[in-house]
């Protein structure tokens, strides 16, 4: 999981759903990044700042730079729309590796055109003042959107993390597509502690699933044959060396060019039966040709 | 009188020169739109035949052009006729580097960078047409084909125009594959084949021995001499070669710097700018014959990456009912008009897996000339299917243009698969593997049958039925 934090890809998409929320994972990742000493810019749209900061320790909180849209969602106090604020997030940041957490992209998708959002995200990732060192962690609620915007953001993202839950543990399926069957796809099982640190577990053993039903015994068709189907080794060799009848080999060519003399091996033996009438006359003599 | 002097004077020679000349004129008329076909060309064979019938044979006599030169006049037309076109233009068109006339209809073709793809498209991409690549899901393999096209342009000495909204075109050019020389390609291909044969030894066919002599899918080097080149994907093209190439770039974020009206997304803005840019390059550099140049004519290769994606400001990929549904189709219409009027070939990649409205997809296909779709197995359930385990994806040729003819050269196999080996991108026919063993369990046989249903009937009905009959 920590490899996500190590990579400097542009956009990491955290997809959650109604069944299992992903904000706690986002906060846990922010905490990991902040513990390394980096500053984290947070754009908060869905929850207020107090709610977001709650649970994080003071060290992390001091490194969070919070840009609040929740206080003023319609932008009545400022001149910029939500995308303007998104772009302004990185302006005051210190130079160096930078992380921007967006909570959430769904809110931005609902309040701005999708193509403009994609262009802004791409421009953020390739910001000139932080060349190649910006990482954007975006939270996306996938059941809010149709396949269009979802597909557009997925094609823009380098890494996708799908948050789910099973058997009391949180799972994160990380997918990083790469060519030639080398795409990384891995599932992590962990639980998020109250202070938003991650505790990883090994994949719990699944209970043995019940059999789908008694399977019919496969009949071995080769069992009780009265003739031999298998070939011994000698027989196999003999079969391999056999010349196929329609292969025009040189021996065949020779035999055709020089027809063998009528060999004495083929003869017809005739024994006349009692009922046979052997007439020496040729019945065709009557014909008048 | 005359001009027999230079050419050795045998009858065969002059006959072949007639053929070549009319071919050249056809090319001039089709691809550039200027220069009419010479009427004199049609007349020559008839004159020639009349002469031989009447006058007996006139063999030899190379130098004595006077005797036989009278009735057969090799018309060397004045290049001034028809605005730069005509016979002189025809001779020059034939010699543009990296092009060749098609054997089917005489069109001028350029290579798409992959000789296997050229073969599937009927010899190559016709000059003045548009190749549309429908991207695979994560845009990995389609960008590779895009780079092959650009690399081929650099190697042949064509001018490039690269437009993108996602990556800087300079970065795209840095990632082009390195061209291989002929002897290197044989080594690379043998390496790929020997790797495969270590897994399954190739059994020579004993019963179906007639099929052993069928031609392989790909042509190796040496069959078409300087037309298609081979590339090594694991290496990058060297800097000197890239810098020696002439190219123009269009990077959308640099062209549109103001985001003042971002909330009301002016969609045509990016497309309009791109069209103006292309038109300016074509007219300034003379690709449409507007300022007649005495120097060598060249081809302009245009590459536009991920057109229609949200990064271009277009919302056909994002919304189910897009507001500006016709901006992309209008763009393609105008672009194709520009292409037809100039010596250029264009490749466009479109993320059509994101387009929700199927009507838009079919409109886009109709507005392009050649359409190739890629479907990769990454992340899909097909990856685990045993039928596809050797390959990385499927390639579908949706459309091939019928240029100046009634039929097009469609390949007979519809099931093609590609794989990206370490150095080489190969396209092969998808074969259903024979089910030889008797002790295969029933469930996996059923999977194979199910997957075989997805193949088109051209692949053979070996596993057609659902029930597997055991005798």
**Contact: B441, A175; criterion CB under 8 Å:** no
Residues A50 and A148 in one domain: yes
Residue A15 belongs to domain spanning: 2-201
A218 domain-assigned: no
Q: What ipTM, to 2 d.p.?
A: 0.70
Q: Are residues A99 and A182 in the same domain?
A: yes
Partners of residue B351 in chain A, C-beta under 8 Å: 155
Q: Which residue of A has its CA nearest to B379?
A: A177
Kindly state whether residues A190 and A247 are assigned to the same domain.
Answer: no
Considering only the beta carbons, identify the residue of B137, B311, B378 that sits closest to A119. Answer: B311
Q: What is the DSSP secondary-structure string of B219-259?
A: --TTSSTTT--EEEEEEEPPHHHHHHS-EEEEEHHHH----
Among A178, A201, A224, give the residue marking a domain's end: A201
Q: Which of B305, B309, B310 to mutate to test the interface with A (most CBs of A within 10 A)?
A: B310
Structural contact between residues A239 and A231, judged by C-beta atoms closer than 8 angstroms: yes
What's this model's pTM, rounded to 2 decimal places?
Answer: 0.71
* Domains of chain B by start residue, with CATH: 107-185+227-429 (3.40.50.300)
| Residue B437, token pair as written in the block | 């063993």
Q: Within this chain, do residues A172 and A251 fall inside the same structural domain, yes or no? A: no
Cβ neighbors of A268 (< 8 A, separation 6 or more) are: none
User: Does the CA dihedral B176-B177-B178-B180 come out positive or negative?
Assistant: negative
Q: Give B352 to chain A, closest Cα distance, Å.
A: 11
Rg (CA), chain B: 26
Distance, CA of B52 to CA of B61 (rounded, Å) = 15
In chain A, which residues have their Cβ closer than 8 Å to the Cβ of B138?
155, 177
- Asked if A175 is an interface residue toward chain B (Cβ–Cβ < 8 A), one would say yes
Q: Give domain status of residue A206, yes or no.
A: no
Q: Which residue has the tokens 């749209």?
A: A45
Instruction: For residue A57, tell me if it sits in a domain.
Output: yes
| Same structural domain, A146 and A240 | no
Q: Are A159 and A249 in the same domain?
A: no
Q: Is residue A183 part of a domain?
A: yes
Q: Is B135 exposed, middle or buried (0-12, 13-18, 19+ CB in 10 A)?
A: buried
Q: Does A88 lie at the interface with B, CB-CB under 8 angstroms? A: no
Judged by CB atoms closer than 8 Å, whether chains meet at A177 and B420 is answered as: no
Tell me: do A119 and A35 sit in the same domain.
Answer: yes
**Cα–Cα distance for residue pair A125/A62, rounded to 1 Å:** 24
Q: Nearest 10 degrees: CA dihedral of B441, B446, B452, B454?
A: -150
Residue A54 located in a structural domain: yes
For residue A183, the chain B residue with the least C-alpha distance is: B378
B16 φ/ψ angles, rounded to the nearest 5 degrees = -65, -30
The residue written with tokens 């009634």 in the block is B406
Please tell me which of the candidates B166, B318, B351 has its beta carbon nearest to residue A149. Answer: B318
Query: For residue A15, what is the domain's CATH number?
Result: 3.40.50.300
User: Under an 8 A CB cutoff, do A155 and B138 touch?
Assistant: yes
* CB-CB under 8 Å, A222 with B438: yes
Into how many domains does chain A fold?
2
Interchain proximity A148–B319, CB inside 8 Å: yes
Q: Are residues A184 and A243 in the same domain?
A: no
Q: Kindly state the tokens that stand for A58.
A: 């003071």
- Out of B138, B309, B351, the one facing A177 most closely (by C-beta) is B138
In whole angstroms, what is the distance from residue B30 CA to residue B96 CA? 15
Kindly state whether residue A289 falls inside one of the protein's structural domains.
Answer: no
| A261 lies in the same domain as A135 | no
Nearest to A118 among B138, B207, B310 (CB): B310
Check whether residue A146 and residue A6 sit in a common domain. yes
Per-residue pLDDT of chain B (471 residues; tens, 9 = 90+): 444 443 433 333 333 333 334 434 444 334 333 333 343 333 344 433 434 344 334 333 333 334 443 444 344 444 333 333 333 334 444 578 888 888 877 888 999 999 889 988 888 999 999 999 999 988 889 999 999 999 999 998 899 999 999 889 999 999 999 988 766 666 666 665 655 544 444 556 666 767 776 665 544 433 334 678 889 888 899 899 899 999 999 999 888 776 544 444 444 788 989 999 999 999 888 888 776 655 678 899 999 999 999 998 888 888 878 888 888 999 999 999 999 999 999 999 999 999 988 899 999 999 999 999 999 888 777 666 777 888 889 999 998 988 888 877 777 777 889 988 888 888 988 876 666 655 555 445 555 555 555 555 544 444 444 445 555
How does B290-319 read in b/e, with b if 16+ C-beta sit within 10 Å? eeeeeeebbbbbbbbbbbbbbbbbbbbbbb
Q: Report yes or no on A227 lying in a domain.
A: no
> What distance in Å separates residue A118's CA from the closest CA in chain B?
6
Residue B56: C-alpha distances to residues B49, B193, B431 (Å) = 11, 58, 58
A89 CB burial (10 A radius; 0-12, 13-18, 19+): buried
Judge if A109 and A251 occupy the same domain: no
Closest CA to B95 of B177, B156, B141, B147: B156
Say if residues A61 and A89 touch (Cβ distance below 8 Å). Answer: no
Q: Which residue has the tokens 């975006």?
A: A138
Do A147 and A42 reside in the same domain of the chain?
yes
Beta pairing class for B125-126 and B108-110: antiparallel
């Amino acid at each position: 999981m920590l490899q996500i934090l190590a990579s400097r890809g542009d956009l990491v998409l955290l997809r959650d759903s109604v069944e299992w929320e992903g904000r706690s994972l986002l906060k846990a990742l922010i905490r990991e990044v902040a513990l390394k000493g980096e500053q984290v810019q947070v754009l908060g749209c869905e929850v207020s700042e107090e709610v977001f900061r709650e649970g994080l320790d003071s060290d992390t909180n001091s490194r969070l730079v919070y840009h609040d849209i929740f206080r003023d969602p319609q932008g009545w106090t400022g001149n910029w729309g939500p995308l303007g604020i998104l772009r302004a997030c990185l302006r005051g940041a210190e130079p160096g590796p930078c992380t921007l957490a967006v909570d959430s992209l769904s809110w931005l998708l609902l309040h701005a055109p999708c193509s403009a959002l994609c262009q802004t995200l791409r421009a953020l990732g390739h910001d000139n003042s932080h060349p190649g060192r910006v990482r954007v962690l975006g939270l996306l609620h996938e059941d809010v959107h149709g396949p269009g915007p979802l597909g557009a953001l997925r094609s823009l993202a380098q890494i996708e993390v799908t948050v789910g839950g099973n058997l009391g543990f949180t799972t994160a399926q990380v997918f990083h597509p790469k060519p030639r069957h080398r795409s990384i796809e891995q599932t992590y099982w962990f639980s998020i502690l109250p202070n938003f640190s991650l505790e990883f577990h090994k994949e719990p053993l699944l209970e043995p699933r019940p059999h789908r039903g008694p399977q019919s015994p496969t009949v071995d068709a080769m069992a009780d044959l009265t003739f031999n189907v298998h070939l011994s080794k000698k027989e196999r060799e003999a079969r391999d060396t056999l010349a196929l009848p329609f292969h025009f080999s040189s021996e065949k060519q020779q035999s055709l060019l020089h027809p063998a003399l009528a060999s004495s091996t083929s003869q017809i033996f005739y024994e006349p039966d009692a009922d046979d009438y052997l007439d020496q006359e040729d019945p065709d003599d009557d014909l008048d040709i | 009188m005359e001009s027999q002097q230079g050419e050795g004077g045998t009858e065969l020679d002059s006959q072949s020169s007639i053929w070549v000349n009319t071919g050249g004129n056809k090319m001039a008329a089709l691809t550039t739109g200027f220069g009419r076909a010479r009427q004199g060309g049609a007349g020559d064979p008839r004159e020639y035949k009349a002469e031989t019938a009447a006058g007996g044979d006139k063999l030899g006599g190379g130098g004595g052009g006077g005797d036989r030169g009278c009735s057969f006049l090799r018309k060397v037309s004045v290049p001034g006729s028809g605005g730069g076109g005509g016979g002189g233009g025809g001779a020059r068109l034939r010699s543009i580097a990296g092009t060749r006339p098609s054997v089917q209809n005489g069109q001028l073709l350029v290579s798409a960078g992959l000789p296997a793809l050229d073969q599937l498209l009927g010899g190559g991409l016709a000059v003045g047409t548009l190749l549309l690549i429908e991207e695979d899901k994560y845009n990995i393999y389609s960008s590779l084909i895009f780079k092959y096209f650009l690399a081929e342009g650099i190697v042949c000495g064509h001018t490039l125009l690269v437009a993108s909204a996602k990556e800087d075109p300079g970065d795209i050019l840095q990632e082009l594959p390195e061209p291989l020389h002929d002897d290197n390609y044989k080594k690379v291909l043998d390496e790929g084949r020997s790797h495969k044969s270590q897994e399954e030894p190739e059994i020579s066919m004993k019963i179906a021995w007639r099929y052993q002599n069928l031609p392989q899918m790909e042509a190796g080097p040496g069959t078409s001499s300087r037309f298609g080149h081979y590339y090594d994907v694991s290496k990058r093209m060297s800097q000197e070669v890239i810098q020696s190439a002439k190219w123009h770039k269009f990077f959308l974020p640099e062209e549109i710097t103001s985001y003042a009206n971002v909330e009301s997304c002016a969609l045509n803005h990016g497309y309009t700018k791109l069209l103006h840019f292309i038109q300016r390059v074509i007219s300034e550099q003379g690709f449409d014959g507007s300022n007649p140049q005495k120097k060598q004519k060249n081809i302009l290769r245009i590459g536009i990456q991920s057109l229609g994606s949200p990064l271009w400001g277009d919302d056909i990929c994002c919304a189910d009912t897009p507001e500006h549904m016709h901006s992309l189709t209008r763009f393609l219409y105008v672009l194709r008009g520009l292409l037809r009027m100039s010596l250029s070939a264009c490749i466009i990649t479109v993320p059509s897996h994101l387009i929700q409205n199927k009507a838009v997809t079919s409109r886009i296909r109709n507005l392009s000339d050649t359409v190739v779709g890629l479907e990769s197995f990454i992340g899909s359930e097909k990856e685990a299917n045993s039928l596809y385990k050797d390959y990385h994806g499927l390639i579908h040729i949706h459309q091939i243009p019928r240029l100046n003819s009634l039929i097009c050269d469609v390949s007979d196999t519809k099931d093609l698969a590609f794989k990206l080996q370490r150095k080489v991108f190969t396209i092969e026919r998808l074969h259903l593997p024979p089910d030889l063993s008797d002790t295969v369990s029933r469930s996996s046989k059923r999977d194979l049958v199910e997957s075989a249903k997805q193949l088109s009937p051209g692949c053979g009905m070996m596993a057609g039925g659902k029930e597997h009959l055991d005798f």
